[in-house]
Amino acid sequence: MENMIGVLLAGGRSQRFGQPKAFAQFEGKCFWEHSIDAMKEVTNKQIIISHPDIVHFFEETSRNEILMDDIHVRGKGPLAGIYTAMKYEKAEWYMILSCDIPLINKKIIRCLVDAREQGTLAIIPKINNRIHPLVGVYHYSTFEYIDEALQKERYKMMSLLEKINVKYLSDNFILANQDAFCNINSQEDYIALQNSDTIKEL
Ligand SMILES: Nc1nc2c(ncn2[C@@H]2O[C@H](COP(=O)(O)OP(=O)(O)OP(=O)(O)O)[C@@H](O)[C@H]2O)c(=O)[nH]1
């Protein structure tokens, strides 16, 4: 069993963005590449969990393994993507990242990975009372809870988090780097990103 697999969640519909946001450009790279690059050093491999409508874009441009959401839960949200990764790719830990966080960087990912400890099943940033469950490290033993939540048609990430022992990270490093968690949902968010003077940490 590999120790840690990187999982890029890219099976969303990007309705607010108006086009597949994984392929929006920032600083010369697609959004999805920023997430993959950020987790490359700490993961044994990185897989993409996508959707039939956009999978050909990934096939043309990515060398990563690509899976589609398991048919029973396809399109049911991020939890469905995590479920699919854990069902088809076995590892002890999974580094989960969404595809709409172009400011994410290696130091943040390293910090989350290093925060793992005995008995904790997920490590998730929490900034000003807002949690970021799609920038998180999850242990394989969360799979049974994810499976149960999906079977009960509870698709929100909270359905999982309220059942497991989560370590929420809000230390000074996370707070000082909070821009890195900014997720792009709409064209307005994208314009704000392009106009901001935030410098991406590498
Ligand atoms: N594999 C998978 N990923 C998903 C699914 N829904 C959302 N995601 C991913 O989860 C992350 C956050 O998605 P959201 O922005 O909440 O949803 P979205 O569907 O992409 O966008 P909207 O249609 O505007 O809500 C993105 O990386 C999405 O690609 C899903 O059903 N399956």
Q: Is there a domain that residue 200 lies in? A: no
User: Which regions of the chain are under pLDDT 70?
Assistant: 1-2
Is residue 15 in a domain? yes
pLDDT at 146: 98
124 belongs to a structural domain: yes
Asked if the structure places residue 141 within a domain, the reply is yes
Query: What pLDDT score was predicted for residue 1?
Result: 54
Residue 201 lies in a domain: no
Mutate to test the pocket of ligand 1, among 47, 49, 70, 98 (most ligand atoms within 8 A of CB): 98
The answer for residues whose C-beta is within 8 angstroms of residue 128's C-beta and 6 or more apart is 178
CB under 8 Å, gap of 24 or more: what pairs does 129-132 form? Answer: 131/161, 131/168, 132/181
Q: What's the 77 CA to ligand 1 centre distance in angstroms?
A: 6
For residue 72, the number of C-alpha atoms closer than 13 Å in the C-beta half-sphere is 8
| Number of separate domains in the chain | 1
What interface predicted TM-score (ipTM) does this complex get?
Answer: 0.98
Residues spanned by the domain of 62: 2-195
Q: What is the pLDDT of residue 2?
A: 63
Residues with CB under 6 Å of ligand 1 are: 9-17, 49, 69, 75-78, 80-81, 98-100, 134, 185
**Angle 132-136-138 from CA coordinates, rounded to 5°:** 135
Let me know if residue 149 belongs to a domain: yes
CA angle 69/74/76 to nearest 5° reads 115
Residue 89 covered by a domain: yes
For residue 124, the model assigns a pLDDT of 97
The whole-number pLDDT of residue 174 equals: 92
Is 30 a domain residue?
yes
Domain harbouring 166, CATH code: 3.90.550.10
pLDDT at 142: 98
- Tell how far the Cα of 94 is from the centroid of ligand 1, in angstroms: 18
Of the candidates 126, 110, 139, 123, the residue with the CA atom closest to the CA atom of residue 178: 126
86 vs 179: CA distance, rounded Å: 29
Task: Identify which of 138, 135, 129, 137 has the alpha carbon closest to the alpha carbon of residue 175.
Answer: 129
